[in-house]
Structure 1
Amino acid sequence: MTIVDDGAAGGRTKPDGAGHSPAAAATPRPWIRRNDYTALEVPPLGGWEPALSVSVVIPAHGHQDKLDLVLAALAAQSYPSRLMETVVVDDGSAPPLRLPEVCPENTRLITSGEGGWGSAHAVNCGVAAGEGDVVLRLDADMLAHREHVESQMRWHHLADYLAVLGHKLFVPFTPGEPDPESVHTAVSQGRAAELFDPGSAEKHWIERIIDSTDGLTTADHKAYRVFIGASGSLHRGLFDEAGGLAGELVLGGDSEFAYRVAQTGAVFVPDLETSSWHLGRTQMQTRREAGTRYRHPFVAARVPDFENRRKQGPRQWAVPYADVVVDVSAASLEEAETTLAPLLSGSAPDIRAFLVGPWSELGEERRLPLEEELLDLRLIRETFRGDSRVSFVEEAPERDAAVPFRLHMPAGCRPTHRAVERITRVADKHAAGLVRLTAPGVAAHGPQALRLERTAAFARARRLGAGQEGLDAAVDRLYGLHWIGGAGILGEEEEPPHDWGRRLRAAEEAAEAQRARADRLERRLRWLSRGLPRRLAERLAR
């Protein structure tokens, strides 16, 4: 059915509550494996009946001229105005921003208020003020084509855990060219592509990732990297589950938010059937070095698989790479040390260790020190209480959604110093949601099994209704289960972890020897070729 917009002012149907309208509650939850969304049958533009409402949130600071064009384009969208509201958030502009004559129905202008400043804070304020089932963030310099909102909204009617990215092209901008009325007319007539010269347009770097991964369908766990700024949408419930943007990040907040969205088990979809014009270049395009220098410390502290984090040497970070759970209830001090010492001094130091045991039973009353019943538990606590990464808990804590992995390891097994690094690398190589280990002396099943769980995979399985009993099977279906042996994970270290310098020097010496040998062979070949009889040389040439 073709989209019909009655155009009645004030005729918007408000949902029963944020993210809880009947349409939102009825959104299906199909099982999507990893990031392959091709099983979803998206309807053609203009040939379907929408039901979900959307809040278009526009954080803005200054540049009234650009905002006027953005709102003029939004006023001509194909998505029904009764299901669409626009919330412009003025983030401390001087002079204050205003709503122009040409703007969408159901448009409000609010201020970001106290408690913070910057784009991330402004988006949070706009989402809180909105009422739509879906949140579509649009920057205040994005002139959207007629079907831009509709095209993204099609996906959200098919599943409620999608993060949809809108397409854009960067073009030079001259104030007053074009004017808002011309923009509204062109967008209304489906001629937005004619407003600027495509030859002057510049693509965004994320398109290289999208193209190289078949539209993200074959992307790995870092598919979230493309869900940054400008234009993107997700269900309000998913926005809330991820925790909204980190308001304290005045730059780089969208990258960090995208990571947390991925941790909820979201699927990332690039919507390429329509586009938008980005009016002018971004700060990262005009001041890339300074922008990168500023963002890296903030993002690296919060995103464990941030590409530059491992290059900065062993250290602890605000968000660890893995949580390790070890049940030491019945373990001896020696067993606990055998397991924990290599982990805490290993090649992946940004971990947390949760030692599970009946710690509350360790009283301070008079006792025979060498004969008390919980002697080993007391010794374990004293041995590891000085390490800030170690926590003593009565039971395994709730999963921290920000931490990408949880490793369950039985007390008494001997991990190598590179165990965490290697087992997580296996998980990423095979895009597995669960990695299990089979090795002599280690249980393959049950509470004493060694297993690595990917947070995003288990989050998606629970979202789709998997109970505790069927959780592993659901993760296997959604992401995959991968079995490994103990080589490189358990047992004696193959080589000292501190021996990297010697190994590097040896590799460099071997490479230099190979280069020298190649040079000698090349010189000998030239000498031989000069000394060959002419007839033999001709025969060899033939």
Structure 2
Amino acid sequence: MLGVSVVVPAFGGQEKLDLTLASLAAQGYPSSLTEVVVVDDGSAPALRLPELRPENTRLVPALPGGWGRAHAVHSGALSCGGEVLLFLDADMVVFRDHLEAQMRWHHLADYLAVTGNLRVVEDTGRPPTPREVFEAVERGEEERLVEGPGREMEWLAKAYRTTGDLRKAGPRAHRCFIGATGSVHRAFYHECGGMDPTLLLGEDTHLGFRMLQNGAVFVPERTAGSWHLGLPHMERRRAEAMRFNRTFVGNRLPYMADSRRVRGRRWQVPGVDAVVETEGHTFEEVAATVDALLRGDASDLRITLVGAWEPERAARSRPADGPGPDLRLIREHYGAEPRVRFAAAVPGADPDVPFRLLLAPGQVLAPHAVDRMVDRMEKSRCGLLRATVLGNDLGGPRLERTAAFARARRLAGEGEDLEAMVDRVYGVHWMDGDSELFQEAPEAPADWEERVARALAEAEGHRARARALEGRFRRLTGGGLGRLLWRVLG
């Protein structure tokens, strides 16, 4: 069986922490496989460990140089030894099967992100004592600790309801990872980069995105019950928190589309990584492709030019001759462009960037092309979008979803075709590059509204004349003489 390290970040709130630790002490999962790490995020007075707590419980300070929940969680994760990390807020009471229900999933696969079932209960009357919590949880009678059934967070309940418990959520499932009670393999957590300790809000969403990008499957475990004692901070001040997240999380998370509608902006993490291999191509071919990308509608991209960027020195008398003149021209042409970088080999997919675009020099995309490919991929939820080109159906631009290829790499057996696995788990979509990507989108004339209004008025006039003619026809052909004339003339 796997060991689990429960990370409990805390800032003050000793009384509620005592209840959380009491409920953890009554868990059905073997205590020999459980450790609890309480991370004190600078509380004053400092937190202490109560008498009623799990056998293997440690109190550690958050690492120096930061503060906040993300910093505390990451500090705790770095000190843990269990195969699985389970994050738990310090104002929770977890039911007896909470750890066991989540841990069952982690015995099946090492890339699952599991979220427990959380219900919010308001503070009413006398709170239970740690002993009362321990005994109720041990007997499986947690419902007796509170009045009423508690309530789910409305947005999360709706997401579960409309996606079949995230089965149909697609690439947006990461938004439903809840760090108040969520778990993941420790090695997978660190492979994904863990929580960003500089984030003060939105850290769960950002961690969920990092896990998605590394191939995670998100699982809501309804039987892992818990009470959240009081409304979570994000729910109490949701509008303010979302305003904060749109900037801080949006700078790091390209999927926060609302914050990225401003054209011409660059962000900490781009939305698309474009890769162009230069070998065997002229400066003019490369420049045509790269310049089209740079002046396109999608400014939120990064371009990597792949080539042998250390050519032999040309003769002083003829600098345009000798090995590598095209490479020298390319390097000089884009050396000061911040969206272009140079690499000696095709880089692996950046796990923070959701899409990777690969295209050949000489393929000149229309300004709308990148946005159109991303939009098509999002609507189809595919893992790979391929575009055909005249004379070479397989040589057109291709847009890869980083999360899909990460998942495929985890599932593909030795020697199994990676693209075939992407097709199985996400799907492959095709489009006609010549008609959809390389043709300039016609610009609308400045007076398009007036033209439309005139066309509609003309159409209405034609309809009115048609109705009048239809009426005359009926009158003329309504009698016997009219029908006789119609037969003769017809």
TM range, smaller chain? 0.7 to 0.9
Give the structure 2 partner of residue 257 of structure 1.
207
Deviations 1:193-247 (A, max 9, x none): 2322235535342121111000101111111000032110011111111111111
**Alignment partners' CA distance in 2, 1:195 and 1:63:** 19
Give the structure 2 partner of residue 413 of structure 1.
363
Contact 2:5 2:83 in 1 (8 A): yes
Give the structure 2 partner of residue 434 of structure 1.
384
**Alignment partners' CA distance in 2, 1:110 and 1:371:** 65
Cα 1:468/1:363, change in 2 over 3 Å: farther
Q: CA offset at residue 370 of structure 1?
A: 4.6
Give the structure 1 partner of residue 409 of structure 2.
462
Give the structure 2 partner of residue 298 of structure 1.
248
From 424, 432, 439, the equivalent of 1:477 is: 424
Contact 2:408 2:421 in 1 (8 A): yes
Contact 1:416 1:488 in 2 (8 A): no
From 247, 260, 274, the equivalent of 2:197 is: 247
Contact 1:139 1:230 in 2 (8 A): yes
Cα RMSD (Å) of the superposition?
A: 2.5
Give the structure 2 partner of residue 269 of structure 1.
219
TM-score using structure 1 length? 0.79
- Name the SS for the 1:302 alignment partner: coil
From 238, 241, 261, the equivalent of 2:188 is: 238
- Name the SS for the 1:93 alignment partner: coil
Give the structure 2 partner of residue 225 of structure 1.
175
**Alignment partners' CA distance in 2, 1:314 and 1:305:** 17
Contact 1:442 1:450 in 2 (8 A): no
- Name the SS for the 2:257 alignment partner: coil
Q: Single out whichever of 348-357 and 473-482 deviates more from structure 2.
A: 473-482
Contact 1:413 1:490 in 2 (8 A): no
**Alignment partners' CA distance in 2, 1:308 and 1:69:** 39
Cα 1:507/1:482, change in 2 over 3 Å: farther
Contact 1:88 1:107 in 2 (8 A): yes
**Alignment partners' CA distance in 1, 2:150 and 2:275:** 55
From 281, 302, 316, the equivalent of 1:331 is: 281
Deviations 1:315-364 (A, max 9, x none): 11111111111112222233223212221121211111111122210636
Cα 1:359/1:172, change in 2 over 3 Å: same
Give the structure 2 partner of residue 529 of structure 1.
none
Q: Single out whichever of 215-224 and 280-289 deviates more from structure 2.
A: 280-289
Contact 2:112 2:216 in 1 (8 A): yes
Q: CA offset at residue 310 of structure 1?
A: 2.8
Cα 1:297/1:509, change in 2 over 3 Å: farther
From 378, 396, 407, the equivalent of 2:346 is: 396
Contact 1:423 1:489 in 2 (8 A): no
**Unaligned runs of at least 5 residues, structure 2:** 465-490
Contact 1:418 1:488 in 2 (8 A): no
**Alignment partners' CA distance in 1, 2:333 and 2:416:** 36
**Alignment partners' CA distance in 2, 1:478 and 1:199:** 38
From 294, 300, 317, the equivalent of 1:344 is: 294
- Asked if 1:94 corresponds to 2:71, the answer is no
Q: What letter corresponds to residue 477 of structure 1 in structure 2?
A: R
From 432, 441, 445, the equivalent of 1:494 is: 441
Cα 1:122/1:175, change in 2 over 3 Å: farther
Cα 1:402/1:466, change in 2 over 3 Å: farther
Cα 1:255/1:423, change in 2 over 3 Å: same
- Asked if 1:178 corresponds to 2:178, the answer is no
Q: What letter corresponds to residue 506 of structure 1 in structure 2?
A: E
Deviations 1:438-468 (A, max 9, x none): 1204450xxx552211111211222235557
Q: CA offset at residue 86 of structure 1?
A: 0.9
Q: What letter corresponds to residue 171 of structure 1 in structure 2?
A: V
Q: Report 1:193-204 matches (<5 A).
A: 193-198=143-148, 201-204=151-154
- Asked if 1:377 corresponds to 2:327, the answer is yes
Q: What letter corresponds to residue 472 of structure 1 in structure 2?
A: E
Q: CA offset at residue 393 of structure 1?
A: 1.9
Q: CA offset at residue 432 of structure 1?
A: 1.4
Cα 1:413/1:104, change in 2 over 3 Å: same
From 129, 134, 149, the equivalent of 2:99 is: 149
Q: CA offset at residue 187 of structure 1?
A: 1.0
Q: CA offset at residue 64 of structure 1?
A: 0.6
Cα 1:466/1:457, change in 2 over 3 Å: farther
Cα 1:400/1:149, change in 2 over 3 Å: same
**Alignment partners' CA distance in 1, 2:266 and 2:70:** 26
Give the structure 2 partner of residue 538 of structure 1.
none
Q: CA offset at residue 377 of structure 1?
A: 2.7
Cα 1:319/1:367, change in 2 over 3 Å: farther
Contact 1:434 1:482 in 2 (8 A): yes
Matched residues, number: 458
Identity of paired residues, percent?
46
Contact 1:413 1:442 in 2 (8 A): no
- Asked if 1:123 corresponds to 2:73, the answer is yes
**Alignment partners' CA distance in 2, 1:432 and 1:133:** 32
Q: CA offset at residue 166 of structure 1?
A: 0.8
Q: CA offset at residue 82 of structure 1?
A: 1.2
- Name the SS for the 2:251 alignment partner: helix
**Alignment partners' CA distance in 1, 2:446 and 2:120:** 49
From 24, 32, 55, the equivalent of 2:5 is: 55
**Alignment partners' CA distance in 1, 2:63 and 2:206:** 23
Contact 1:422 1:488 in 2 (8 A): no
Contact 2:396 2:433 in 1 (8 A): no
**Unaligned runs of at least 5 residues, structure 1:** 1-50, 522-542
**Alignment partners' CA distance in 2, 1:323 and 1:488:** 23
Give the structure 1 partner of residue 467 of structure 2.
none
**Alignment partners' CA distance in 1, 2:450 and 2:322:** 54
Q: CA offset at residue 157 of structure 1?
A: 1.0
Give the structure 1 partner of residue 400 of structure 2.
453
Q: What letter corresponds to residue 474 of structure 1 in structure 2?
A: M
Contact 1:52 1:133 in 2 (8 A): yes
